[in-house]
Structure 1
Amino acid sequence: MVDVVALIRQRMKTAQSRQTSYGNVRRRPLEFNVGDHVFVKIAPLKGVMRIGERAYRLALPPDLDRVHNVFHVSMLRKYLSNPSHVLRHEALDLLPNLSYEEVSVQIIDRKIKVLRNKEIGFVKVLWRNHVIEEATWEPEKEMRQRYPDLF
């Protein structure tokens, strides 16, 4: 029994070492300086983050003054200046809990998903403040209830 436990521990240590080296090869060190422009990938997160090698405090636009301005390095992408690149910035109507309500613009496609004993209709919905690539498939029944004006 002791030999089995030792063998399992050895294999786990080997697997952990392999995963660590695999991750380290693909990890790229990111470092930002004051004045750098970055893209922020926003995701819900709880807890306080400390500023340092892994987190940065950003200067956000005034309309985002209620958003916590410290972001982990994994949420940032360096912005490379390009004169032809035009960023589309639209103000969001933020609710007190810093969320916003999605507003559907139009239905751009339909499909029927066939299950064993029933069919479910889906519609592809284009949302305001999103590009067409970000359109989502939603159950038609729910969309008819929430947004009857689309139909």
Structure 2
Amino acid sequence: MQAAQDRQKSYADQKRKLMEFEVGDRVMLKKCYTDELLVMPLKGIHIDDKLQFVEEPVEIIEREIKRLKQSRLPLVKVRWNSRRGPEFTWEREDSFKQKYLQLFTNWASSSTTRS
């Protein structure tokens, strides 16, 4: 087994070239083959300064009041723009409203037209 690995390594090493680059050098990137089903559209994507995908809420789908023993907790069902496709989560209305007030103004106007 070791002999076969060594032989394969020697074949690969013959084709490899030691390459060193400096800042500012221009290089040609290798061709990348991808699965078309995994390609993510770039439209509507937001990336922060650390180059991480920022998921943002798109709309409020539904409202619900969770009844606890001593209190009631208003919740909203939110649709997010996720890199995996649409995702939905239930969020506390009060804390969510502080961050994304514009979604509530859209919800109020659309909920009156739905009635």
| TM-score (structure 1 length as normaliser) | 0.38
Which structure: larger Rg? 2
| TM-score (structure 2 length as normaliser) | 0.48
